[in-house]
Structure 1
Amino acid sequence: MKPSEVRALSDEELQKKLEDARAELFNLRFQMATSQLDNTARVTTVKRDIARILTEMRARELAVAKTAAEN
């Protein structure tokens, strides 16, 4: 998922994507532990997606706090 795609999502969609990505990461780790994971690079990709989502959520949170402080 590209950063521009993350920015285009609504808050609810971001929360849903975060839940899905965390569930996928859990499943990937489980597959890795049982030696059933074929594409180990997918773990890194999912971790980066989670980080991008969390970063965007925090940026929006700070923007709301900034506008509230200005008023």
Structure 2
Amino acid sequence: MKIKEIREKNQKEIEKDLIELRNKFTKMKFDISGKQMKNHREIRKIKKDIAKILTVLNSQKEQ
């Protein structure tokens, strides 16, 4: 997900995406700890996407 795509969405869509990503992140953490998942790169991508969304939300609140 790119920052440009995030900025084009409205506040509710961004918050919905954030909730979905956080749920996905939590599920992946449990899968990795239970050794059901071996692809650790995907969890990095999700963490970065969460950070991008939070950055956009914080910049919108400042304006």
Fold match (TM-score > 0.5) = yes
Percentage identity across aligned positions?
A: 29
Moved over 2 A (4+): none
1:48 match = 48
More RCO (CA 8 Å, sep 6+): 2
Match runs of 1:1-71 below 5 Å: 1-63=1-63
Q: Deviations over 1:15-65 (max 9, x none)?
A: 0000000000000000000001132101000000000000000000001xx
Structure 2 portions without partners, runs of 5+ = none
**Number of residue-to-residue matches in the alignment:** 63
CA RMSD of aligned residues (A): 0.7
Distance in 1, matches of 2:10 and 2:50, equals 16
Letter in 1 for 2:43: V
The code of the aligned residue for 2:60 comes to: R
After TM superposition, the score normalised by the length of structure 2 is 0.96
Structure of higher CA gyration radius: 1
